Structure 1
Amino acid sequence: MLTSLFSNRMTCALAIALTLVTGVAQAQEAKIAAVNSDRILRESTAAKAAQTKLEAEFAKRDKNLQDMAQKLKSMSDALDKNGASLAAADRAQKQRDLSQMDTDFQRKQREFREDLNQRRNEELAAVLDRANKVIKQIAEQQHYDLIVQEAVYVSPRIDITDQVLKALAAASNPN
Protein backbone atom coordinates (compact mmCIF):
# COMPACT_ATOMS: atom_id res chain seq x y z
CA MET A 1 0.00 0.00 0.00
CA LEU A 2 2.78 2.43 0.91
CA THR A 3 4.78 1.38 -2.15
CA SER A 4 1.79 2.16 -4.37
CA LEU A 5 1.42 5.54 -2.68
CA PHE A 6 5.10 6.26 -3.31
CA SER A 7 4.81 5.18 -6.96
CA ASN A 8 1.85 7.50 -7.54
CA ARG A 9 3.66 10.36 -5.86
CA MET A 10 6.78 9.67 -7.87
CA THR A 11 4.87 9.66 -11.15
CA CYS A 12 3.13 12.94 -10.36
CA ALA A 13 6.30 14.53 -9.06
CA LEU A 14 8.29 13.47 -12.11
CA ALA A 15 5.63 14.85 -14.42
CA ILE A 16 5.73 18.15 -12.57
CA ALA A 17 9.53 18.11 -12.58
CA LEU A 18 9.65 17.53 -16.31
CA THR A 19 7.18 20.34 -16.85
CA LEU A 20 9.24 22.67 -14.69
CA VAL A 21 12.57 21.67 -16.17
CA THR A 22 11.44 21.80 -19.78
CA GLY A 23 9.41 24.98 -19.35
CA VAL A 24 11.35 27.26 -21.69
CA ALA A 25 8.96 30.12 -21.00
CA GLN A 26 10.24 30.48 -17.46
CA ALA A 27 13.04 32.95 -17.04
CA GLN A 28 14.34 31.45 -13.80
CA GLU A 29 15.73 28.01 -13.12
CA ALA A 30 13.63 25.62 -11.06
CA LYS A 31 15.10 24.60 -7.73
CA ILE A 32 14.63 20.84 -7.31
CA ALA A 33 15.61 18.40 -4.58
CA ALA A 34 15.05 14.74 -3.78
CA VAL A 35 14.51 12.76 -0.59
CA ASN A 36 15.04 9.03 -0.13
CA SER A 37 11.96 7.86 1.81
CA ASP A 38 13.44 4.41 2.39
CA ARG A 39 16.35 5.98 4.26
CA ILE A 40 13.90 8.08 6.28
CA LEU A 41 12.03 4.90 7.29
CA ARG A 42 15.28 3.09 8.16
CA GLU A 43 17.47 5.77 9.70
CA SER A 44 15.29 8.45 11.25
CA THR A 45 15.01 8.65 15.00
CA ALA A 46 11.22 8.66 14.60
CA ALA A 47 11.32 5.37 12.67
CA LYS A 48 13.68 3.80 15.20
CA ALA A 49 11.43 4.95 18.04
CA ALA A 50 8.41 3.47 16.25
CA GLN A 51 10.24 0.15 15.86
CA THR A 52 11.15 0.11 19.55
CA LYS A 53 7.56 0.95 20.45
CA LEU A 54 6.26 -1.92 18.29
CA GLU A 55 8.75 -4.37 19.78
CA ALA A 56 7.65 -3.43 23.29
CA GLU A 57 3.97 -3.54 22.35
CA PHE A 58 4.20 -7.02 20.81
CA ALA A 59 6.88 -8.58 23.03
CA LYS A 60 4.45 -10.34 25.38
CA ARG A 61 2.43 -11.87 22.55
CA ASP A 62 5.62 -12.95 20.79
CA LYS A 63 6.88 -14.59 23.98
CA ASN A 64 3.54 -16.37 24.44
CA LEU A 65 3.76 -17.69 20.88
CA GLN A 66 7.31 -18.91 21.45
CA ASP A 67 6.22 -20.67 24.65
CA MET A 68 3.27 -22.23 22.85
CA ALA A 69 5.56 -23.45 20.03
CA GLN A 70 7.90 -24.99 22.59
CA LYS A 71 4.98 -26.70 24.33
CA LEU A 72 3.75 -28.05 21.00
CA LYS A 73 7.20 -29.43 20.23
CA SER A 74 7.43 -31.06 23.68
CA MET A 75 3.99 -32.62 23.31
CA SER A 76 4.83 -33.89 19.82
CA ASP A 77 8.16 -35.32 20.98
CA ALA A 78 6.47 -37.03 23.95
CA LEU A 79 3.79 -38.50 21.69
CA ASP A 80 6.44 -39.77 19.26
CA LYS A 81 8.48 -41.27 22.09
CA ASN A 82 5.66 -42.78 24.17
CA GLY A 83 2.89 -43.16 21.60
CA ALA A 84 3.54 -46.84 20.91
CA SER A 85 3.20 -47.75 24.59
CA LEU A 86 -0.09 -45.87 25.07
CA ALA A 87 -3.50 -47.40 24.76
CA ALA A 88 -5.18 -46.64 21.44
CA ALA A 89 -7.80 -44.37 23.07
CA ASP A 90 -5.13 -42.43 25.02
CA ARG A 91 -2.95 -42.07 21.92
CA ALA A 92 -5.93 -40.84 19.86
CA GLN A 93 -6.86 -38.32 22.58
CA LYS A 94 -3.28 -36.99 22.76
CA GLN A 95 -3.21 -36.68 18.96
CA ARG A 96 -6.49 -34.72 19.02
CA ASP A 97 -5.14 -32.48 21.79
CA LEU A 98 -1.95 -31.89 19.82
CA SER A 99 -3.91 -31.18 16.64
CA GLN A 100 -6.20 -28.71 18.45
CA MET A 101 -3.24 -26.95 20.05
CA ASP A 102 -1.51 -26.72 16.67
CA THR A 103 -4.65 -25.20 15.12
CA ASP A 104 -4.83 -22.66 17.95
CA PHE A 105 -1.14 -21.88 17.54
CA GLN A 106 -1.50 -21.32 13.78
CA ARG A 107 -4.51 -19.01 14.35
CA LYS A 108 -2.73 -16.99 17.05
CA GLN A 109 0.39 -16.74 14.92
CA ARG A 110 -1.64 -15.48 11.93
CA GLU A 111 -3.48 -12.93 14.13
CA PHE A 112 -0.15 -11.79 15.58
CA ARG A 113 1.33 -11.20 12.11
CA GLU A 114 -1.78 -9.35 10.93
CA ASP A 115 -1.87 -7.13 14.02
CA LEU A 116 1.85 -6.45 13.83
CA ASN A 117 1.66 -5.54 10.14
CA GLN A 118 -1.30 -3.24 10.73
CA ARG A 119 0.43 -1.45 13.61
CA ARG A 120 3.70 -1.24 11.66
CA ASN A 121 1.86 0.39 8.75
CA GLU A 122 0.20 2.85 11.15
CA GLU A 123 3.52 3.77 12.75
CA LEU A 124 5.33 4.12 9.40
CA ALA A 125 2.50 6.28 8.07
CA ALA A 126 2.91 8.56 11.10
CA VAL A 127 6.68 8.76 10.49
CA LEU A 128 6.09 9.61 6.82
CA ASP A 129 3.53 12.22 7.79
CA ARG A 130 6.07 13.90 10.09
CA ALA A 131 8.74 13.62 7.40
CA ASN A 132 6.43 15.21 4.83
CA LYS A 133 5.79 18.13 7.16
CA VAL A 134 9.53 18.61 7.63
CA ILE A 135 10.10 18.34 3.87
CA LYS A 136 7.43 20.99 3.27
CA GLN A 137 9.08 23.30 5.83
CA ILE A 138 12.45 22.83 4.14
CA ALA A 139 10.86 23.52 0.75
CA GLU A 140 9.28 26.74 1.99
CA GLN A 141 12.35 27.95 3.90
CA GLN A 142 14.81 27.22 1.11
CA HIS A 143 12.48 28.14 -1.77
CA TYR A 144 12.38 24.80 -3.55
CA ASP A 145 10.03 24.52 -6.50
CA LEU A 146 9.88 20.74 -6.29
CA ILE A 147 11.02 18.02 -3.90
CA VAL A 148 10.69 14.46 -5.18
CA GLN A 149 10.52 11.57 -2.73
CA GLU A 150 11.25 8.67 -5.06
CA ALA A 151 13.21 8.50 -8.27
CA VAL A 152 15.21 6.02 -10.30
CA TYR A 153 18.34 8.11 -9.94
CA VAL A 154 19.13 11.11 -7.76
CA SER A 155 22.29 13.13 -8.04
CA PRO A 156 23.95 13.57 -4.63
CA ARG A 157 23.99 17.33 -5.19
CA ILE A 158 20.16 17.54 -5.01
CA ASP A 159 19.65 14.81 -2.36
CA ILE A 160 18.49 16.48 0.86
CA THR A 161 17.76 13.27 2.79
CA ASP A 162 20.47 13.99 5.38
CA GLN A 163 19.01 17.45 5.96
CA VAL A 164 15.52 15.92 6.44
CA LEU A 165 16.90 13.31 8.86
CA LYS A 166 18.58 16.05 10.91
CA ALA A 167 15.42 18.17 10.94
CA LEU A 168 13.31 15.16 11.99
CA ALA A 169 15.75 14.41 14.80
CA ALA A 170 15.65 18.02 15.94
CA ALA A 171 11.85 18.05 15.82
CA SER A 172 11.55 14.87 17.90
CA ASN A 173 14.21 16.00 20.40
CA PRO A 174 13.66 19.71 21.07
CA ASN A 175 16.49 19.93 23.67
Structure 2
Amino acid sequence: MKLPTPLFTALRLAVIATVCLASQAQAQESRIGFVNTERIFREATPAKAAQVKIDQEFSKRDKELQEVAARLKTMSDKLDKDVALIAEPERSKRQRELTDLDKDFQRKQREFREDLNQRKNEELASVLERTTRVIKQIAEAEKYDIVFQDAVYASPRIDITDKVLKALNK
Protein backbone atom coordinates (compact mmCIF):
# COMPACT_ATOMS: atom_id res chain seq x y z
CA MET A 1 0.00 0.00 0.00
CA LYS A 2 1.35 3.36 -1.03
CA LEU A 3 1.05 6.37 1.32
CA PRO A 4 -0.44 9.56 -0.15
CA THR A 5 1.97 12.35 -0.90
CA PRO A 6 1.75 15.57 1.14
CA LEU A 7 0.60 17.48 -1.96
CA PHE A 8 -2.18 14.97 -2.61
CA THR A 9 -3.29 15.16 1.03
CA ALA A 10 -3.33 18.96 0.99
CA LEU A 11 -5.32 18.97 -2.24
CA ARG A 12 -7.83 16.48 -0.84
CA LEU A 13 -8.28 18.62 2.32
CA ALA A 14 -8.80 21.75 0.19
CA VAL A 15 -11.53 20.01 -1.86
CA ILE A 16 -13.27 18.78 1.31
CA ALA A 17 -13.11 22.29 2.86
CA THR A 18 -14.51 23.85 -0.32
CA VAL A 19 -17.40 21.38 -0.42
CA CYS A 20 -18.17 22.05 3.26
CA LEU A 21 -18.10 25.82 2.78
CA ALA A 22 -20.33 25.63 -0.30
CA SER A 23 -22.93 23.51 1.50
CA GLN A 24 -22.82 25.85 4.51
CA ALA A 25 -23.35 28.90 2.25
CA GLN A 26 -26.36 27.22 0.66
CA ALA A 27 -27.80 26.45 4.09
CA GLN A 28 -27.49 30.12 5.09
CA GLU A 29 -29.27 31.85 2.22
CA SER A 30 -29.25 35.61 2.46
CA ARG A 31 -32.50 37.55 2.63
CA ILE A 32 -32.45 40.61 0.44
CA GLY A 33 -35.06 43.33 0.27
CA PHE A 34 -35.63 46.40 -1.87
CA VAL A 35 -37.55 49.62 -1.18
CA ASN A 36 -38.57 52.01 -3.96
CA THR A 37 -37.77 55.39 -2.39
CA GLU A 38 -39.38 57.32 -5.23
CA ARG A 39 -42.64 55.50 -4.59
CA ILE A 40 -42.36 56.23 -0.85
CA PHE A 41 -42.01 59.96 -1.62
CA ARG A 42 -45.08 59.79 -3.88
CA GLU A 43 -47.42 57.59 -1.84
CA ALA A 44 -46.50 57.73 1.85
CA THR A 45 -48.75 59.78 4.11
CA PRO A 46 -45.80 61.64 5.72
CA ALA A 47 -44.49 62.62 2.28
CA LYS A 48 -47.92 63.85 1.19
CA ALA A 49 -48.29 65.82 4.45
CA ALA A 50 -44.86 67.38 3.88
CA GLN A 51 -45.90 68.46 0.38
CA VAL A 52 -49.11 70.05 1.70
CA LYS A 53 -47.12 71.84 4.39
CA ILE A 54 -44.68 73.20 1.79
CA ASP A 55 -47.51 74.25 -0.53
CA GLN A 56 -49.19 76.17 2.29
CA GLU A 57 -45.93 77.74 3.38
CA PHE A 58 -45.04 79.00 -0.10
CA SER A 59 -48.44 79.70 -1.66
CA LYS A 60 -48.50 83.38 -0.64
CA ARG A 61 -45.07 84.07 -2.16
CA ASP A 62 -45.98 82.13 -5.28
CA LYS A 63 -49.15 84.19 -5.69
CA GLU A 64 -47.19 87.42 -5.25
CA LEU A 65 -44.72 86.32 -7.94
CA GLN A 66 -47.57 85.52 -10.31
CA GLU A 67 -49.01 88.99 -9.72
CA VAL A 68 -45.66 90.65 -10.46
CA ALA A 69 -45.31 88.54 -13.61
CA ALA A 70 -48.76 89.65 -14.76
CA ARG A 71 -47.89 93.28 -14.02
CA LEU A 72 -44.66 92.90 -16.00
CA LYS A 73 -46.55 91.50 -18.97
CA THR A 74 -49.14 94.27 -18.82
CA MET A 75 -46.44 96.97 -18.66
CA SER A 76 -44.49 95.36 -21.51
CA ASP A 77 -47.59 95.03 -23.70
CA LYS A 78 -48.58 98.65 -23.00
CA LEU A 79 -45.07 99.88 -23.81
CA ASP A 80 -45.03 97.89 -27.07
CA LYS A 81 -48.41 99.35 -28.01
CA ASP A 82 -47.50 102.93 -27.04
CA VAL A 83 -43.89 102.99 -28.29
CA ALA A 84 -44.71 104.95 -31.45
CA LEU A 85 -47.02 107.39 -29.65
CA ILE A 86 -44.85 108.51 -26.70
CA ALA A 87 -41.86 110.83 -26.60
CA GLU A 88 -38.32 109.51 -26.10
CA PRO A 89 -37.93 110.63 -22.45
CA GLU A 90 -41.20 108.94 -21.46
CA ARG A 91 -40.30 105.77 -23.41
CA SER A 92 -36.86 105.61 -21.72
CA LYS A 93 -38.44 106.12 -18.30
CA ARG A 94 -40.96 103.33 -18.87
CA GLN A 95 -38.28 100.98 -20.22
CA ARG A 96 -36.16 101.63 -17.11
CA GLU A 97 -39.15 100.94 -14.86
CA LEU A 98 -39.82 97.74 -16.79
CA THR A 99 -36.18 96.67 -16.57
CA ASP A 100 -36.01 97.43 -12.84
CA LEU A 101 -39.23 95.54 -12.19
CA ASP A 102 -37.97 92.59 -14.26
CA LYS A 103 -34.67 92.47 -12.31
CA ASP A 104 -36.57 92.60 -9.03
CA PHE A 105 -38.93 89.88 -10.25
CA GLN A 106 -36.08 87.59 -11.32
CA ARG A 107 -34.28 88.10 -7.98
CA LYS A 108 -37.45 87.29 -6.02
CA GLN A 109 -38.13 84.31 -8.26
CA ARG A 110 -34.58 82.95 -7.72
CA GLU A 111 -34.87 83.44 -3.94
CA PHE A 112 -38.25 81.73 -3.99
CA ARG A 113 -36.85 78.70 -5.85
CA GLU A 114 -33.86 78.49 -3.51
CA ASP A 115 -36.04 78.71 -0.39
CA LEU A 116 -38.52 76.22 -1.81
CA ASN A 117 -35.79 73.72 -2.70
CA GLN A 118 -34.22 74.08 0.74
CA ARG A 119 -37.57 73.43 2.49
CA LYS A 120 -38.31 70.48 0.20
CA ASN A 121 -34.92 68.99 1.01
CA GLU A 122 -35.53 69.46 4.74
CA GLU A 123 -38.96 67.84 4.58
CA LEU A 124 -37.77 64.98 2.36
CA ALA A 125 -34.84 64.35 4.71
CA SER A 126 -37.33 64.03 7.56
CA VAL A 127 -39.47 61.59 5.56
CA LEU A 128 -36.38 59.63 4.53
CA GLU A 129 -35.18 59.43 8.14
CA ARG A 130 -38.56 58.08 9.25
CA THR A 131 -38.60 55.67 6.29
CA THR A 132 -35.15 54.38 7.20
CA ARG A 133 -36.28 53.67 10.78
CA VAL A 134 -39.29 51.72 9.46
CA ILE A 135 -37.11 49.78 7.01
CA LYS A 136 -34.71 48.84 9.83
CA GLN A 137 -37.63 47.66 11.99
CA ILE A 138 -39.01 45.51 9.18
CA ALA A 139 -35.54 44.16 8.32
CA GLU A 140 -34.87 43.16 11.92
CA ALA A 141 -38.33 41.67 12.47
CA GLU A 142 -38.27 39.67 9.24
CA LYS A 143 -34.56 38.77 9.38
CA TYR A 144 -33.37 40.55 6.23
CA ASP A 145 -29.61 40.56 5.75
CA ILE A 146 -29.65 43.65 3.55
CA VAL A 147 -32.25 46.09 2.19
CA PHE A 148 -31.46 48.34 -0.76
CA GLN A 149 -33.19 51.66 -1.32
CA ASP A 150 -32.00 52.30 -4.87
CA ALA A 151 -31.35 49.84 -7.65
CA VAL A 152 -31.33 49.72 -11.41
CA TYR A 153 -33.54 46.64 -11.24
CA ALA A 154 -35.18 44.77 -8.41
CA SER A 155 -37.38 41.72 -8.68
CA PRO A 156 -40.91 42.16 -7.30
CA ARG A 157 -40.13 39.08 -5.20
CA ILE A 158 -37.76 41.13 -2.98
CA ASP A 159 -39.68 44.45 -3.11
CA ILE A 160 -40.87 45.34 0.40
CA THR A 161 -42.10 48.85 -0.51
CA ASP A 162 -45.73 47.94 0.24
CA LYS A 163 -44.79 46.82 3.76
CA VAL A 164 -42.89 50.06 4.35
CA LEU A 165 -45.80 52.17 3.02
CA LYS A 166 -48.23 50.29 5.23
CA ALA A 167 -46.07 51.00 8.28
CA LEU A 168 -45.58 54.66 7.36
CA ASN A 169 -49.28 55.22 6.67
CA LYS A 170 -50.42 54.02 10.11
Q: What TM-score results when the alignment is normalised by the length of structure 2? A: 0.83
**1:157-168 equivalence runs, <5 A:** 157-168=157-168
**Structure-1 separation of matches of 2:102 and 2:45:** 39
- The answer to which of 67-76 and 117-126 deviates more is 117-126
**1:8-47 equivalence runs, <5 A:** 24=22, 26=25, 27-47=27-47
1:68 aligned residue: 68
1:122 aligned residue: 122
The Cα shift of 1:146 comes to 1.0
**Structure-2 separation of matches of 1:43 and 1:60:** 26
2:88 aligned residue: 88
SS at match of 1:29: coil
Which amino acid in the other structure matches residue 38 of structure 1? Answer: E
What per-residue deviation string (whole Å, max 9, x for no partner) do you get for residues 145-164 of structure 1? 11111122211111100000
**Structure-2 separation of matches of 1:73 and 1:153:** 47
**Structure-1 separation of matches of 2:97 and 2:123:** 38
SS at match of 1:150: coil
SS at match of 2:110: helix
Q: CA RMSD in A?
A: 1.3
The Cα shift of 1:83 comes to 2.3
**Structure-1 separation of matches of 2:146 and 2:49:** 29
The Cα shift of 1:34 comes to 0.9
**Structure-2 separation of matches of 1:111 and 1:84:** 36
**Structure-2 separation of matches of 1:168 and 1:120:** 19
SS at match of 2:111: helix
**Structure-1 separation of matches of 2:30 and 2:83:** 77
What per-residue deviation string (whole Å, max 9, x for no partner) do you get for residues 108-149 of structure 1? 111111111111111111111100000001011111111111
**Structure-1 separation of matches of 2:111 and 2:64:** 13
What per-residue deviation string (whole Å, max 9, x for no partner) do you get for residues 59-106 of structure 1? 000000000000001111111112222221111111100000001011
Structure 2's unaligned 5+ residue stretches are 1-20
- The answer to which of 153-162 and 78-87 deviates more is 78-87
| Greater Rg by CA | 2
**Structure-1 separation of matches of 2:49 and 2:69:** 29
2:146 aligned residue: 146
2:109 aligned residue: 109
